[in-house]
Structure 1
Amino acid sequence: MEPQHRIGTKEEWLAASRALLAEEKAHMRAGDELARKRRALPWVKVEKTYAFDTPQGRKTLADLFDGRSQLIVYHFMLGPDWQEGCVGCSFLSDHMTGIVTHLEHHDVSYVTVSHAPLVKIEAFKRRMGWTFPWVSSSGGDFNFDYHVSFTPEQLASKNAFYNFIEQDVGIDEQHGHSVFYKDENGDVYHTYSCYGRGDERFVGVYAHLDIAPKGRNEESNLTDWVRYHDRYEDEPQGGCPACG
């Protein structure tokens, strides 16, 4: 069905666009101020030594900086017993291959971390054709300490800590970003995390859909329409409980 919309003159469109531009500029300035406050958050020193399985062998969190002072970690939902990665995480990760090079040349390393074993990560990464670094936290506390993996007891209690509150997470893995800084002494600090819809800012497809006439055109969540990029001919698979 075609969308119903008011039809106006060029003069009406120009006047409305100028008014909208003023609001867009105010929104952008508000975003700049939020970014300043984000950078001003207190840092927390990482006291625990976390280790990860990587294609190059075992590495610590400090090693993942790869010679840079800043590290962005994406918590990708792929659990030990999962057969493939989360559709929503895959949607976001499709944006990253061309971006990582630019981050690395601006003193920022980017690493995706999942709770699944490395062999499962590597297989899914090959299928998707991704080239960004992706490591496994299997066997360690990293995912649990940064509140994106949950024990059976937490799930049963319906009272796990996610997105800064106690809640029923409904699934053993969740998504998010965590950011770290390493100083000249080699000490690592946790500077920022975001979860849930906080991850939307990293999905460039949404920025384009938001200026299109039909917008995002979603019924309940992104997996109303999003598929793995190699499965757009498949039948709908239902919503992802973490992608609302």
Structure 2
Amino acid sequence: MKTPPIVSPEEWHAAREQLLVREKEVARARDALAAERRRMPWLAVDKEYWFEGPAGRVSLAGLFEGRRQLIVYRAFYGPEVTTYAEGGSYPERACVGCSLGADQVAHPGHLHARNTSLAFVSRAPQDEIRRLKERHGWNHIPWYTITDDFDRDFDVDEWHGTNAFFREGDRVFRTYFINNRGDEQMGNTWNYLDITALGRQETWEDSPADYPQTPPYQWWNYHDVHDAAK
């Protein structure tokens, strides 16, 4: 392995400052892209979709759990999961990539504080999902069983992907979709919020007029404090 040159502290800090200029450009571009997402048109969801959850049958609207926004990740866990060389197969294991993604999911309590719910959905029955969550320490992730054409209708029947939805009264709208390498960044609270229609809902963001916003830092809290406030 050919390593980079070894330099003095002064040279190292100079190189760091030079790279920081580019990093800030990327951060500003990322913020601008999120602002464009908040201005994307919405797609009305006029078809009903149903899932099985730990407490029984629930609709797509029910996955919101009373909140305005919903993020749904389609995780491949079910008979369609093939055997991996060293990891096993269904029902012992889910897709290795989806499992890596699940390991990165932050506590949903922080999303709840921004009026946003998170759900994973798969083809496996609830008994298997419950055992999988316990095995891997994923009990903080709400995880439902797909029972109809949801995966096909929302572009996640053949590959993983994350859909964002918005609820206005009884109406549900699809507001964004990201998949392929775009899913690599999912799991972090900020990246989840950046794909939603309302964003992080902080005053520094470039959002359409009248979108809900509060000062940064003021809403940040421990996840159990967020959940206790529900």
Q: Which category of TM-score, normalised to the shorter sequence, fits these structures? A: 0.7 to 0.9
Distance 2:54 2:181 in 1: 31
Residue matched to 1:100: 108
Q: Quick check: 1:72–1:177 contact (8 Å CA) kept in 2? A: yes
Partner of 2:162: 177
**Contact 1:62–1:182 at 8 Å: present in 2 too?**
yes
Shift of 1:54: 0.4
- Asked if the contact 1:76/1:113 (under 8 Å) is kept, the reply is yes
CA distance, structure 2, for counterparts of residue 45 and residue 31 of structure 1: 27
Residue by residue, what CA displacement relative to the aligned partner does 1:185-243 show, whole Å, maximum 9, x if unpaired? 22000000011100111256xxxxxxxxxxxxxxxxxxxxxxxxxxxxxxxxxxxxxxx
Superposed, which structure 2 residues align to 1:35-114 within 5 Å? 35-82=34-81, 83=90, 84-96=93-105, 98-114=106-122
In the alignment, the residues of structure 1 paired with residue 126 and residue 26 of structure 2 have an alpha-carbon distance, to the nearest angstrom, of: 41
Partner of 2:172: 188
The residue number in structure 2 matching 1:236 is: none
Does 2:142 align with 1:133?
Answer: yes
Instruction: Name the CA distance, whole Å, in 1 between partners of 2:101 and 2:36.
Output: 25
The partner residue of 1:120 within 120, 125, 128 is: 128
**Map 1:131-210 → 2, pairs under 5 A:** 131=139, 132-138=141-147, 140-149=148-157, 173-183=158-168, 185-202=169-186
Number of residue pairs matched? 177
Aligned residues with identical type, % of pairs: 42
Match of 2:195 in 1: none
Q: Are the equivalent residues in 2 in contact too, given 1:121–1:134 (CA < 8 A)?
A: yes
What amino acid maps onto 2:33 in structure 1? L
Q: CA deviation at 1:119?
A: 2.5
2 CA distance for matches of 1:75 and 1:9?
Answer: 48
> What is the CA–CA distance in structure 1 between the aligned matches of 2:2 and 2:60, rounded to whole Å?
50
- CA offset at residue 123 of structure 1? 2.1
Q: What CA deviation, in whole Å up to 9, does each residue of 1:136-176 have, x standing for no partner? A: 003x0001111221xxxxxxxxxxxxxxxxxxxxxxx4211
Given residue 85 of structure 1, which amino acid in structure 2 is its aligned partner?
Answer: A
Moved more, 18-27 or 80-89: 80-89
TM-score (norm 1): 0.69
CA contact (8 A) 2:70 2:165 kept: yes
2:43/2:175 contact within 8 Å kept: yes
User: For the aligned residues, what is the CA RMSD?
Assistant: 1.5
The whole-number CA distance in structure 2 between the counterparts of 1:36 and 1:81 is: 37
Paired AA for residue 154 in structure 2: Y
My pick for the range that moved more, 36-45 or 72-81, is 72-81
Measure how far apart 1:80 and its partner are: 3.3
Cα distance between partner residues in 2 of 1:74 and 1:106: 18
C-alpha distance in 2 between matches for 1:203 and 1:188: 23
Gaps of 5+ in 1: 150-172, 205-244
The CA distance in 1 between the partners of 2:44 and 2:3, in whole Å, is 54
Cα contact 2:155–2:161 (8 A) shared by 1: no
**1:62 match: secondary structure:** helix
Report how far residue 67 of structure 1 moved: 0.8
